[in-house]
Chains A and B, each alone.
Chain A
């Protein structure tokens, strides 16, 4: 990825950014997040099919550098997260320098070679292959037909079930949750300073990892993503118990699309869905 290293060095040499959040390959060959602070460290930057992480999560976690912008290497889905953060007034466009990558799909398992079939679920219904908000655009977009979306099948299956069957499905899934909160920590849009599960007067959501406590945690987490989730699938990727968490957030996204024709993180000038209202919203279900 010489193109990326060159631009990164150029950014540091001309003081266009103070740090660059990107990916590197470690000694064991894992592609992982990395923060470059100067042009020497920029040498280590890379981008490949294993660059799965959504780096936008660092934009709200890192302290803002005093002497310049935060540079960030971003794929299409990461750009949606950055756009969403700008829409939600968490960061300012002027504070970030976006080095956009044309992405041809990513593979979750670091030991697997990229192929059309083994891409992450999000790539199977990728909604932003060509970044729409950037300072630099690198990489070549290969002609690539989206593979079959296997999650949609599961979604259809669930929707066809009776409520009781759906409850049983989720009861067994949520029963596995160990409450490590990796889903929250890895989510670029979970940026609350104090999460609702940490509020203890009263304790709205039980911290116990029992089925009941897990139900309320996962439901409320999904609800807080309603109309906001940008579909990067990080929560599901990091879940040590492999709970299909994105089914819930994707469902919320489908409703946003159906009811409001809205997709979050596509346009930084659009007001947020859940922060606004319309007098003509659907109210068929209200007596």
Chain B
């Protein structure tokens, strides 16, 4: 079932891609133009994904509910990090990332927090101070 659904999804993406792709035109000097290559890619993708819908192969074992929730939580932490890096500044955001992922992976909360507390300033010192990569110590919420 999963393979069939994936086939449907890929088919839709490829169809949209081909639909948009065939309209690109260049004015002069380019014999083939920017539209042909996308069409060359899109059509076989549609054929192959359609064949996966009709003749699926392989089976997918999805994680159970508990592990699925852990994955969602990890995704939330990762996306949250991307959004909060600027507002919070590097060390604080990274502390949250390391401690959060650590706990989600089954580490003891206290140990995970110690790990974050040690590594987030250490990484900041390494990258900002030693390697000269500008990483804000405090984000724009604090300044």
Partners in one complex: no
